[in-house]
Structure formats: structure tokens, C-alpha cells
Chains A and B, each alone.
Chain A
Amino acid sequence: MNLHGTKVTLHDMSLRDGMHPKRHQITVDQMVAVATGLDAEGVPLIEVSHGDGLGGSSINYGFGLHSDEEYLRAVVPKMQRARISALLLPGIGTVDHLEMAVDCGVATIRVATHCTEADVSAQHIGMARKLGVDTVGFLMMAHMISAEELLAQAKLMESYGANCIYCTDSAGYLLPDQVTERIGLLRAELSADIEVGFHGHNNLSMGVANSLAAVAAGAARIDCSAAGLGAGSGNTPLEVFVAVLDRMGADHGTDMYKVMDVAEDLVVPMMDTPVRIDRDALILGYAGVYSSFLLFAQRAAENYGLSSRDILVELGKRKTIGGQEDMIEDVALDMVKARGG
């Protein structure tokens, strides 16, 4: 694989996907410190929102320590070079949230849908484009459909006005060849001026390998997270990916030593528990289950005296998708009934 001189735009997830392992309790000071550090080291894009996107603060996904607006108003003015992005899942957040985020100075809006449901995003992608911001279509749980089906959904998002389309491996299930196939087809068939991106989870330890495969297949944007802070066993660790890109001579535009320092000195101390591939996270990747379910399944297992792994496997069998956190307690209650109380 020759990536010498290939330009890669890195997008940090630690303050959005990283909200999941933090149960959405990152403080404003922590947000500002990490974002400022990432900005100084040259990371061009940093996402800041509730883990489930703008408007995600809820019983279902967990209430945020602060509102999206409070985080954004604190972080955006502190940026020297980096642009702040925000995630929005139609069905959870609305265009009202999107307008608020743009008013806060967000420069990139990422509109996320389940990989087969792109047509719920027309309104939101259209509005982001109308407001003149960088507009990304984010197709989640992309392992559940073929590359051809993914392309059809990507084309819908392109038609609504997205200028970048992501293949999002929300379950950390994809293997490098599957990433190559999906990204390769998107790159070949979408208009040349549409960027392609990849968002990975490290549940099968494929974060870096999959991200490299994505770059080699034509992805211009790669989501990473300082110290890997993200749902499940986390996202592709930013500092590791930067080191690998550095060895390969790719153009990542960041200062590797400073990236390491932000991860080690700022993000690792924030972790409530180590973000690692424990057996539950491994099951997410193995069974293709949405990474954010991890802590909810562990909590339900504790409350009802069950195995979290059994709960996650059952959620996989029921073909749950992103956002269905409410089914976790429901599944646990069914399992309690099945064992006779």
C-alpha cells in the first residue's frame, strides 16, 4: 500500500463519540482543553455534540451534563484553525438544532441516518447546505448492506446537497476488504467533487487497518479519536493512526508528538474506565451491534442480574439498529421473564 504524499483530513471524535463512554458527562472545561489541544496540534476538524448528536440529551440516551449549545458556545470561539463539526440524527434532533449549531459557529454539519434510511435526511442536508456549511451525509451501520446498496443511499444524500459521504462502521464489524469494497465503490461512482469518508470502531481491533484501507480506496476524511475515546472499544485511535500515516509518508498535517500528548495527558485521565476491547466490546464487533449499546447493556445486566454479553447477542438477533437503546431494558426484562423471574 503506497500512501506516500496522500492527503488525509483527520476528524476527531473524542468530544462527541467520546461522550458515550463518558455517559455524556464531559465538562465544559474538559471540552475546551481537549479541543484547544487538538487545534494546536493541527487537527482540522473536531466534533462537539451529545454522543447521539444534537438534541440527543434524553432518558433514552442519557442527559448531557450541559446542553449542546453550552458546549459549542464555549469551544468554538477558542479555535485558532480547527473547524468544529456537529452531528445530527433526524428523528432525534431537528433542523432547529441544526440552525442553533450553525449560529454557534459550527462549520460542518454531519447528518446521520441508518444506512438504508437516507431519505429522512433530505430536509436536514438541504438546510445545512442552504446555511452554507460543509455538509456531510453519514451512513451508519454500513456493514448491514452491500456496497451497491450503500452507494444508492449515498447518491440520495448527494442529491440532497451533501458534499461529503461517510461509510460509518458503527458496530466495528467491517474487515479491511469490506471497507475497500465500500469506499472504492463510493469513490468510483459519486461525483469527483464529493469527498468520501470513513468512521471506524475498534471492536475487532480493525480501526487503524480499516482506516488505511479506506484511504487507499480513496477516502479523503478519516474519523479518529484521541486515545480512542468513543463508543464500544472506541474509535480509531488518533495518535496511533497519525504515527502509521507518518511512517507511510502520508500528509496528515498534524504534529505527532503533540497528538500523543493530548491523548495521554488530557484524554486518558478523563476516562471513567479504560476504553478497551473487553468481551462485551468484542461481541459488538463480532455480532454487528451498535457500539453505543455497550454501557446500557452492562447497566441492565447489573440491574437485572444478567450477562451483558447475552443481552448484546439478543439485541443483534432482534436486528436492532442505532438509536434503539430503549430495547436494552426491554430485552433484559424479557430475559428475566424467560428465566422465571
Chain B
Amino acid sequence: MKTNAAIIGSGNIGTDLLYKALRSASIHPAWMVGIDPASAGLARAHDKGLKTTAEGIAGLLPHLDDDAIGVVFDATSARAHLDNWRALQERDVLVVDLTPAAVGPFCIPPVNLREHLGSGHKNLNMVTCGGQATVPMVAAVSRVQPVSYGEIIATVASVSAGPGTRANIDEFTRTTAAAVEKLGGAARGKAIIILNPAEPPLIMRDTIHCLTVDEPDQEAITASVHKMVEDVQTYVPGYTLKNGPVFDGKRVSVYMEVKGLGDYLPTYAGNLDIMTAAALRTAEIFVEETR
């Protein structure tokens, strides 16, 4: 039996997540929560058979128990998430937070999702799109040998960076750099984001540089990187190693491309796809393991 889920936020991210969840073997999207009765996203969700409310979190709360909601995805904003979490924290649901609020611990499925199982955490934060795309590669190096410095450069198509990201781009660089350290295992982390307006829009590109403490074990790091790419590909098939790992002294560089599935968002928006795919993956593993 599938676990019922609600999605808060009927915009691009929420809708893309809905399309993915409709294919899930373990999650059943039951509710879509918005704040605008005229929202196209709510209408779309209704057409797909979901119950909808335009009353925000308040419209969902009375139905949590009746509809046996086990997972709530929050695809709103960091500020709205604080309110949503306040309303949900005493309830028996897993909250998967796609906003940069970072109330709960960071979660990047192939890196640390297993650690969260049985931890009692009921709020997991999906870091940033750049974090989902790059931290696995930092971790792939640091699980072989110590990394003194990790640096990532995420380049996304301008049209795929929404107003929230643009208004607070520092939140991206800070949160991603923190995840490069905490989850990636680099002693020090740095993150850079570039918005490129080229037409047709470019597919998300990510470069990951690591400096190892000692001479890099090229064979072991190469194998580890390839294994990690495969792990991410299980939920983001378009996660592709374009070049590398390149070894230059103690520098290890990996060049990635992230192409989305094109569920609702276009394929170039791999940055958004990897967020929704990682969020769904997180929920699926939680419900499968705790069932």
C-alpha cells in the first residue's frame, strides 16, 4: 500500500514533484496545497485526481488524519516553511523541505539519507539544487581520502532561476558551501553560482574541485566517483559525468551535466529536477524502510 502525501506549493517545483510522485511505487500524492484559488497548479493537480485547497496549510490540517497523510513536501519559500513547519511539527508526518529554510538536517540521498533513518528527524532539508548536484561528488572523493577544500561551481539557465533564488542568491552560496563541508566532508567549502541567459537554455552544468590532503589515489577516486554517479542516476537518470575526474597535483576536478526528465519543467532545468527527484527519493526510502 502506498503512503499518502501532500504537496504544499502549486508552482513549478510542486507541479514537477507531483508528476514524479504520480509514478511512485510507494508514495501516493493525495493533496495539493496552494494559496491562490485561480492557480493553474491547483487546477492541474485537481485534474490529476488530487484533493486541493487554496487555504494554505490551514486548509490541509483538518484532513491530515482522515486522509492518512504520512509525508508533506514543502515547495514554498523559506519564510512560508517556518509557518508550515510550526503547524506540522506536532503531527505524525515526515516533512520534506525543498526550501532553503534548513530547519531540519540536510539530506542528500546517496550521501546521508541512511543516517537519517530511525533518527527520529521529522523534517529533512534538501539543501539547494547545486548542493544536490555537487555534494555527492565531494563525498565520493572524501570517502577515499581526506579533502582539505571543496569548491563547486553550479551554472544554470537564467530562465530556471526563479525570483526566490534571485532575491537571495547569498542563501544559495552559503547553504551549498555549508553542505560541501558538513555532508561532502571537505574541511572548508566554497560555492559559486552562475546564471547563464543563453538561448536555447543550457542544461545545468556543475564543476566540482577538491583539494586532497595527500596525493590523490587516482584509481580509488575514479572508481568512487563512477559509483556515486550510478547511485545518483537511480533517481536522476540525466546525471552525467562529462569529463574527469581530472588529477592535477592534489586537485581533483569533476565536470557534471544534469539533465532533467522533463516531467513538468523542461529538460534543461536539471537543477530543479534534481531537487524534486531527491525529495521524492527521500520520502520513498523513508516510507519503505519504516513501514
Contact B196 A122 (CB under 8 A): no
Q: When chains A and B are docked, how far (Å) is the Cα of A226 from the Cα of B192?
A: 30
Partner of B173, one of A91, A117, A122, A329: A91
Give the residues in chain B near A319, CB-CB below 8 Å: 196, 198, 202
Find residues 313-341 in chain A having any chain B CB closer than 8 Å to their own CB. Answer: 318-321, 323-324, 326-327, 329-330, 333-334
Partner of B167, one of A92, A122, A326, A329: A122
Find residues 91-109 in chain A having any chain B CB closer than 8 Å to their own CB. Answer: 91-92, 94-96
Task: Tell me if A302 is interfacial: C-beta within 8 Å of chain B.
Answer: no
Partner of A91, one of B169, B242, B255: B169
Q: Closest CB of chain A to B148's CB: distance in Å?
A: 12
Contact A94 B174 (CB under 8 A): yes
Contact A321 B194 (CB under 8 A): yes
Q: Closest CB of chain B to A211's CB: distance in Å?
A: 27
Task: Tell me if B244 is interfacial: C-beta within 8 Å of chain A.
Answer: yes
- A124's nearest neighbour on chain B, judged by CB, is B170
Count residues of A near B (Cβ-Cβ below 8 Å). 29
Partner of B170, one of A95, A303, A323, A326: A95
Contact B194 A91 (CB under 8 A): yes
Task: Tell me if B195 is interfacial: C-beta within 8 Å of chain A.
Answer: yes
Partner of A117, one of B192, B195, B202, B251: B195
Give the residues in chain B near A321, CB-CB below 8 Å: 194, 196-198
**B interface, size bucket:** 35 or more
Contact B198 A123 (CB under 8 A): no
Task: Tell me if A177 is interfacial: C-beta within 8 Å of chain B.
Answer: no
Contact A60 B209 (CB under 8 A): yes
Task: Tell me if B290 is interfacial: C-beta within 8 Å of chain A.
Answer: no
Task: Tell me if B190 is interfacial: C-beta within 8 Å of chain A.
Answer: yes
Task: Tell me if B193 is interfacial: C-beta within 8 Å of chain A.
Answer: yes
Task: Tell me if B207 is interfacial: C-beta within 8 Å of chain A.
Answer: yes
Q: When chains A and B are docked, how far (Å) is the Cα of A117 from the Cα of B167?
A: 11
Over the window 203-241 of chain B, the binary record of Cβ atoms lying under 8 Å from chain A Cβ atoms (1 yes, 0 no) is 001010101000000000000000000000000000000
Q: A60-B151, A120-B166 are in contact. Are A92 and B192 (CB under 8 A)?
A: yes
Task: Tell me if A70 is interfacial: C-beta within 8 Å of chain B.
Answer: no
Q: When chains A and B are docked, how far (Å) is the Cα of A324 from the Cα of B193?
A: 9
Q: When chains A and B are docked, how far (Å) is the Cα of A320 from the Cα of B205?
A: 12
Contact A327 B195 (CB under 8 A): no
Give the residues in chain B near A329, CB-CB below 8 Å: 243, 246, 253, 255
Contact A91 B195 (CB under 8 A): yes
Task: Tell me if B158 is interfacial: C-beta within 8 Å of chain A.
Answer: yes
Give the residues in chain A near B169, CB-CB below 8 Å: 90-91, 120, 123
Give the residues in chain A near B174, CB-CB below 8 Å: 94
Task: Tell me if B15 is interfacial: C-beta within 8 Å of chain A.
Answer: no
Give the residues in chain B near A90, CB-CB below 8 Å: 169-170
Partner of B151, one of A59, A91, A120: A59
Give the residues in chain B near A23, CB-CB below 8 Å: none
Q: A94-B170, A117-B197, A321-B196 are in contact. Are A58 and B155 (CB under 8 A)?
A: no
Task: Tell me if A148 is interfacial: C-beta within 8 Å of chain B.
Answer: no
Task: Tell me if A114 is interfacial: C-beta within 8 Å of chain B.
Answer: yes
Partner of A58, one of B158, B192, B196, B248: B192
Q: When chains A and B are docked, how far (Å) is the Cα of A319 from the Cα of B205?
A: 13
Q: Closest CB of chain B to A59's CB: distance in Å?
A: 4
Task: Tell me if A29 is interfacial: C-beta within 8 Å of chain B.
Answer: no
Over the window 244-283 of chain A, the binary record of Cβ atoms lying under 8 Å from chain B Cβ atoms (1 yes, 0 no) is 0000000000000000000000000000000000000000
Q: Closest CB of chain B to A242's CB: distance in Å?
A: 35
Give the residues in chain A near B211, CB-CB below 8 Å: 59
Contact B166 A58 (CB under 8 A): no
Partner of A120, one of B155, B195, B207, B251: B195
Contact A123 B167 (CB under 8 A): yes
Q: When chains A and B are docked, how far (Å) is the Cα of A95 from the Cα of B202?
A: 28
Partner of B155, one of A59, A119, A123, A324: A324
Give the residues in chain B near A323, CB-CB below 8 Å: 153, 192, 194
Task: Tell me if A6 is interfacial: C-beta within 8 Å of chain B.
Answer: no
Q: A321-B196, A323-B194 are in contact. Are A333 and B243 (CB under 8 A)?
A: yes
Q: Closest CB of chain A to B156's CB: distance in Å?
A: 10
Task: Tell me if A178 is interfacial: C-beta within 8 Å of chain B.
Answer: no
Task: Tell me if B119 is interfacial: C-beta within 8 Å of chain A.
Answer: no
Q: When chains A and B are docked, how far (Å) is the Cα of A318 from the Cα of B155?
A: 13
Give the residues in chain A near B190, CB-CB below 8 Å: 58
Chain B residues within CB distance 8 Å of chain A: 149, 151, 153, 155, 158, 163, 166-170, 172-174, 190, 192-198, 202, 205, 207, 209, 211, 242-244, 246, 248, 251, 253, 255
5 smallest A-B Cβ distances: which pairs? A319-B198, A326-B207, A333-B243, A94-B170, A59-B209
Chain A to chain B contacts (Cβ below 8 Å), 16 pairs:
A60-B151, A60-B192, A90-B169, A91-B195, A92-B192, A94-B173, A117-B158, A117-B166, A119-B163, A319-B202, A321-B194, A321-B196, A324-B153, A324-B196, A330-B255, A333-B244
Chain A residues within CB distance 8 Å of chain B: 58-60, 90-92, 94-96, 114, 116-117, 119-120, 122-123, 303, 318-321, 323-324, 326-327, 329-330, 333-334
- In the complex, besides A96-B170, A330-B205, 6 extra interface pairs with C-beta distance below 8 angstroms are A91-B173, A116-B158, A123-B168, A318-B202, A320-B196, A324-B196
